[in-house]
Amino acid sequence: MARFEQVYSATSRVEKILSAAAAHHRLLWIHPFLDGNGRVARLMSYATLRDALNSGGIWSISRGLARQHAKYKSHLVECDLVRQGDFDGRGARSERALVRFTEFFLRTCIDQVEFMGELIKPNRLNTRIMAWAKDEVSLGNLSKPTPKMLQALLYRGELPRAEVAEIVGTTDQQARRYVSELKQFGVIQSKSTRAPLQTAFPANLANRWMPALFPEQG
């Protein structure tokens, strides 16, 4: 583990990105824990890429690996192989296998960046969220004015509480009730009872708001 830290901590930004796959496998090969090594390795890779790319956590390599679980495991097994002849690197393990895993790993990263880029395009995300709100109004779970409030939040990013009544065209008391309705669904939040309202993204609505975000369990 000391050697692992020495090799993978003293790298440039580009080297950190390119070596993320190698570090991922090498940690699994060292197998420092009795259980949970896979989870730790994926968390390490997520943290490494988030730091190197300044992604803000908008996408995760773990999702991409979960979608290709069999191929991911196959690559890891290949990387465990000893060197396959004199032209397979100079270390104890197969360099060719590690190169193949690195390519797979980086392509998976690109796939996740592209997926999230499409998923969070403002106009498409707005359409899905508003469709959900209108459905809930039809079902009687939300009051008719609440989509107006949600639309304003999506457009502006945050909404002062004092402006809610004017936006929905009602009294302050009714406006507070509409805020409460959306809070019960977990779709709006605020830092305090006086702070501006902000949009939240509850996990239980992920399938409606951000479809295919979570890989199906096989």
Summarised one tens digit per residue, pLDDT across range 52-87 is 998 888 899 999 999 999 999 999 999 999 998 888
- Asked if residue 54 and residue 104 are part of one domain, the reply reads yes
Domain count, the chain: 2
Q: Which of 61, 90, 119 is the last residue of a domain?
A: 119
Please indicate, yes or no, if residue 197 is contained in any of the structural domains. Answer: yes
Per-residue pLDDT at 18: 93
Please indicate, yes or no, if residue 217 is contained in any of the structural domains. Answer: no
pLDDT averaged over the chain? 92
CA atoms of 18 and 68, how far apart (whole Å): 20
Whether 44 and 23 have beta carbons less than 8 Å apart is answered as yes
pTM: 0.75
- Asked if residue 107 and residue 183 are part of one domain, the reply reads no
Per-residue pLDDT at 218: 47
Please indicate, yes or no, if residue 9 is contained in any of the structural domains. Answer: yes
Please indicate, yes or no, if residue 216 is contained in any of the structural domains. Answer: no
pLDDT band at 129 (very low <50, low <70, confident <90, very high): very high
Per-residue pLDDT at 111: 95
Q: Could you report the per-residue pLDDT of 146-188, keeping only the tens digit for each?
A: 999 999 998 888 999 999 999 999 999 999 999 999 999 999 9
Please indicate, yes or no, if residue 218 is contained in any of the structural domains. Answer: no
Percent of the chain with pLDDT over 90: 76
> CA distances (Å), 58 to each of 11, 16, 76, in order?
24, 19, 26
